[in-house]
Structure 1
Amino acid sequence: MQEDFFKTLQENYQKGVFTVPTTFYFSIDDIKKTLTVDAECCRVEDGKTVENADCVCKTSREMFDKILNKGYRPGMMDFMTGAIKSNAPQLLPQLLVAFGR
């Protein structure tokens, strides 16, 4: 399911949500992806392809599915309990908007 999401990102990207190049690194259980977005497009790469991503997000497949497919919006407790780990959680809602979620 999560792999399918990453495969459809480029076709679902809404231009203009991000105005400057921004990198995300996702670690979702055994799935590792680097996502680069800017004003015009997005690029998905397997693995960690940048030294320091603007936003790192580590979570479980279950939590990722809940956010993507069930409309769940994480709260502070999800980050405080470690269900989601991120160095820049403020970028994650903007990323969802960029993909129509």
Structure 2
Amino acid sequence: MHEDQKLVEAITEEMGALFCKGVFTDRTVFRFNVGESSITVAISAESCEVEGVAGEAGCSCRTSAEMFSKIWYDGYRPGIMDFLGGAIKSDAPLLLPQFLRAFGKL
């Protein structure tokens, strides 16, 4: 198994236990491309579901496994230069802090 996939699986295993209800009011779908791996997570007011990679996403984000790990485990908060420099690419970057808040990471 590729290291990127191991990281994605480890994080998705934690999501259920960390989920904070009520952060989102409407169902929002996030697609993360982390290195060579992809994951789709649907979040609503009451639940989060890992959905694989199919379907439409309200927010798509591409970054390295190293950056994703830094954000998730080390509390790193990306700045504008991370986006402008291409370390993180997202079509809805303003939703990303809310995603972190839904798992108590912000």
TM range (shorter): over 0.9
CA contact (8 A) 1:2 1:64 kept: no
User: Cα offset for 1:7?
Assistant: 1.4
TM-score (norm 2): 0.89
Unaligned runs of 5+ in 1: none
Within-5 A mapping of 1:12-91: 12-46=18-52, 48-50=53-55, 52-91=56-95
| 1:15–1:98 Cα contact (<8 Å) kept | yes
Give the TM-score normalised by structure 1: 0.93
SS, match of residue 74 in structure 1:
coil
CA drift at 1:44: 0.2
Deviation at 1:45, TM superposition (A): 2.0
Q: Which runs of 4+ in 1 moved over 2 A?
A: none
Q: CA deviation at 1:65?
A: 0.8
The answer on whether the counterparts of 1:21 and 1:37 sit within 8 Å (CA) in structure 2 is: yes
Residue 8 of structure 2 is aligned to residue 2 of structure 1: yes
Deviations 1:37-72 (A, max 9, x none): 0000000022x211x311001000010011111111
Aligned with 2:49: secondary structure?
strand
Code of the residue aligned with 1:8 in structure 2: it is E
- RMSD (Å), alpha carbons: 1.0
Please, which runs of 5 or more residues in structure 2 have no aligned partner? 1-6
Partner of 1:94: 98
